[in-house]
Amino acid sequence: MKKVYFDNAATTPMHPEVIVSMVKSMQETCGNPSSTHAFGRAAKSLVETARKSIAKHLNVSSSEIIFTAGASEANNLILHNAVCNLNVKTIITSRIEHHAVLHSIEKLYKTYQIDVLIVDVDTKGFIDYKHLETLLHNASGKTLVSLMYANNEIGTLLDCDKVSALCEKFDALFHSDTVQGIGHYAIDLQKTPIDFIVASAHKFHGPKGVGFAYFKKGFGIEPLIFGGSQEKGARAGTENVHAIFGMAAALDLAYAHLEKDKQHVFGLKKYMIDQLQSTFESVKINGTFEGASYNILSVRFNEKSDLLPFQLDLKGIACSSGSACQSGSSAGSHVLQTILPLQEQEKPAIRFSFSHFNTKEEVDYVVSALKAIFK
């Protein structure tokens, strides 16, 4: 049976060159980076070289990068510090953020009685920037805006320059969940001054279980995990040396081939839309084509089909009915519930997400499989 992997927004396959690099580092480097002997110093060198490499891609100082176990931890660390360390009294966010942000804000609201303001989004998933400006104008106390760079379910992109300018105007902090942006778009934090961003290596062909948080220089960091002085006191625990090394290697590869890979993946997305629309007259895009991430395509069908992702899985096709972090949940996609009218929410929806490893032949196979299922 043919196998097709179109769930890259959930996680990407590791790049073969990253695997080779990580195996080499595991074979040659065994020390604890906190140890002062030669073995420890060699491990420490790997970690700090990776930190400098990642920082260079973002045009920031290496001291502003904190390694974590992934973006969920990084988002929690940032939001916790905003309230408990930086005296934030109001958080402005949207209903279509990742649950790592929404659930963290909910916990902070219940624990510290902060104000939480919800900015409007339209039917395509775009932020209402005028409403955001109104909320910022009326917000009381120190304020943080938390809005994601690219929506993980529908791909809608945020105008970070516009949000950054609004935050500067009203002296607010700006946090962006950039999980679907890092490694896919060039992000220069000197040109677009975002205060806090996050990344997970497995979203750009690196290893799972490792990521980072960016804290703009000048912000002290109160840890969530205690027990050691690693990561400049921001996160206790021995660093995941080889995964950190692999993350930096994956990011180097992503940005070295960024434009070439982007053109290839965008071509696949456009090709799939054309094939779907010529095969299924009623297919509709969730969100938008213009102004959306080039690698994420969410669509819904009029044709009735129960357990559509499961049926595709039986044909060797991996995709998602929404965010992978909601798999197994009967609640459905909170993003689609926010942007779609009730009658449209009931239609079967699928998120396809692509990488440079995918091909047009795989698109043809998926469209053929869908045609057989709906028939």
Catalytic positions, written as ranges: 325
| Residue 88 near residue 242, CB atoms below 8 Å | no
Q: Please state, in angstroms and rounded to a whole number, the distance separating the CA atoms of residues 103 and 175.
A: 15
Q: Please state, in angstroms and rounded to a whole number, the distance separating the CA atoms of residues 115 and 139.
A: 9
Q: Please state, in angstroms and rounded to a whole number, the distance separating the CA atoms of residues 331 and 217.
A: 40
Q: Please state, in angstroms and rounded to a whole number, the distance separating the CA atoms of residues 208 and 246.
A: 10
- Kindly state the tokens that stand for 291: 């102004």
| Residues 45-63: b if buried by 16+ CB within 10 A, e if exposed | ebbeebbebbbebbebeee
Q: Please state, in angstroms and rounded to a whole number, the distance separating the CA atoms of residues 138 and 315.
A: 53
User: CB-based contacts of 81: which residues, under 8 Å, 6+ apart?
Assistant: 215, 219, 221, 222
CB-count burial class (<10 Å; 0-12, 13-18, 19+) for 353: buried
